[in-house]
Amino acid sequence: MSTLKKLNFITGNKNKLAEVRAILGSVVDVENQVIDVPEIQGSIEDIAKEKCRRAADAIKGPVLTEDTALEFHVLKGLPGPYIKQFLDALGHEGLNKMLDSFEDRTAEAVCTFAFCRGPGSEPILFQGRTEGAIVRPRGPANFGWDPIFEYQGTTYAEMDREKKNEISHRYKALVKLQNWLSETQV
């Protein structure tokens, strides 16, 4: 059984915080800190590890960080870990227009959680992936790219929170983290 009683989840996104608490709350107390951690360019895994290292150094203790990517198959994984910047610059319609000249609109939502025991420790990654497709926006536009990511006929934005928390990329990564916390002396 884990001896870790509290995790400092480094995020300024209240929706992500709510999802993490809903899924991990029975295993560990999830507290929140907002720290501005510069993000490097690189693979999803490289970005997640470096962000976690920097956050652990900043708070001088154990941290959990999260990075989300949206990979368009026809674009060989782009926008990937840069989805936030693409979404900010292009919006939901602009992301759709990127795919309009292609038949393939399949995509993969990727969530990578990184846990670090503290400064100097190597981050451990927990990744979840969900296959879907990019569609015209449907549902509330209050959580990133949820209105354009469709899973089995429904966009993430159209799903109620409980349904999304049972199938999402974030859920899959958190289950891996939850299992690790339950089996590991942290």
- Binding residue ranges for ITP: 11-16, 51, 67-68, 143-146, 164, 169-170
Nearest in space to 74 (alpha carbons), one of 49, 99, 39: 99
**Whether 102 contacts 74, CB under 8 Å:** yes
The pLDDT assigned to 22 comes to 85
CA-CA-CA-CA torsion sign (121, 173, 27, 143): positive
Q: What is the DSSP letter of 64?
A: E
Annotated binding site for Mg(2+): 39, 67
Tens digit of pLDDT per residue, the chain (186 long)? 446 778 788 888 888 888 888 888 777 888 887 887 777 888 999 999 999 999 999 999 899 999 999 999 999 999 999 999 999 999 999 999 999 999 999 999 999 999 999 999 999 999 999 999 999 999 999 889 999 999 999 999 999 988 998 899 999 999 999 899 888 765
Domain residue ranges in the chain? 6-184
33 forms bridges with which residues in the sheet?
A: 10
Residues of the binding site? 11-16, 39, 51, 67-68, 143-146, 164, 169-170
Q: Smallest Cα–Cα separation from 112: which of 149, 154, 83, 89? A: 83
pLDDT at residue 1, as a whole number: 40
pTM, entire model: 0.86
User: Span 6-184: which CATH code?
Assistant: 3.90.950.10
Q: What share of the chain is helix, strand, coil (3-state, %, to 5)?
A: 40, 25, 35
